């Protein structure tokens, strides 16, 4: 039992990400206001980005830049042995930079669409919008 508790405590950050994901998913599914749905989507995206950045981190590792790779002649890199385990993998971080840009763009487009919906139907409540569409 204590092994399970220590494992849960040691991985508390993953529980935070799961909680954020569930909050975002709940907001997207259960809320009727379009802005609340958009905020829920943004929370969900942020939780996923934090998760990927977290799994890309490694204790005791350094950034993947070779120090002292040349000895003045340009041939020193071949004599320097590189151990991949000593470096952090930059790929998850780079991909999440792209995901952040996509999330911001998605948020902007979603808010612009919400403004258009409000201008047309004078409400952001999903039930009222659907009722107005059915009346037509």
Question: Tens digit of pLDDT for each residue in 111-120?
Answer: 999 999 999 9
Spatial distance between the Cα atoms of 54 and 3, rounded to a whole number of angstroms: 22
User: How confident is the model over 6-62, as pLDDT tens digits?
Assistant: 888 888 899 999 999 999 999 999 999 999 999 999 999 999 999 999 888 888 888
Question: What share of the chain in percent tops pLDDT 70?
Answer: 88
Owning domain of residue 127: 2-58+84-135
Q: What is the pLDDT of residue 87?
A: 83
**Quick one: pLDDT band at residue 71, thresholds 50, 70, 90?**
low
**Is residue 67 in some structural domain?**
no
**pTM, 2 dp:** 0.79
Query: What is the rounded CA–CA span in Å between residue 108 and residue 10?
Result: 37
Asked whether residue 97 is assigned to any structural domain, the reply reads yes
The larger pLDDT score, comparing residue 128 to residue 92, is at 128
Predicted pLDDT of residue 3? 86
Q: How many structural domains does the chain have?
A: 1
Contact 21, 48 (CB under 8 A): yes
On whether residue 126 sits in a domain, the answer given is yes
| 63-72: long-range contacts, CB 8 A cutoff, minimum separation 24 | 63/87, 63/88, 63/90, 64/88, 64/89, 64/90
Whether 131 is in a domain gets the answer yes
**Residue 101 maps to a domain:** yes
Domain membership flag for residue 74: no
Question: Which CATH number is 54's domain given?
Answer: 1.10.287.3510
């Amino acid at each position: 039992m204590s092994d399970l508790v220590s494992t849960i405590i040691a991985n508390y950050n993953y529980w935070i990400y799961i909680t954020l994901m569930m909050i975002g998913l709940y907001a997207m599914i259960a809320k009727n206001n379009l802005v609340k749905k958009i905020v829920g989507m943004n929370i969900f995206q942020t939780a996923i980005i934090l998760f990927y950045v977290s799994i890309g981190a490694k204790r005791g590792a350094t950034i993947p830049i070779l120090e002292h790779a040349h000895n003045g002649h340009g041939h020193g890199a071949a004599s320097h042995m590189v151990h991949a385990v000593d470096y952090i993998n930059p790929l998850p971080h780079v991909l999440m930079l792209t995901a952040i840009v996509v999330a911001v763009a998605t948020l902007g487009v979603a808010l612009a669409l919400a403004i258009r919906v409000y201008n047309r139907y004078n409400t952001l409540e999903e039930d009222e919008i659907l009722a107005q569409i059915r009346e037509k």
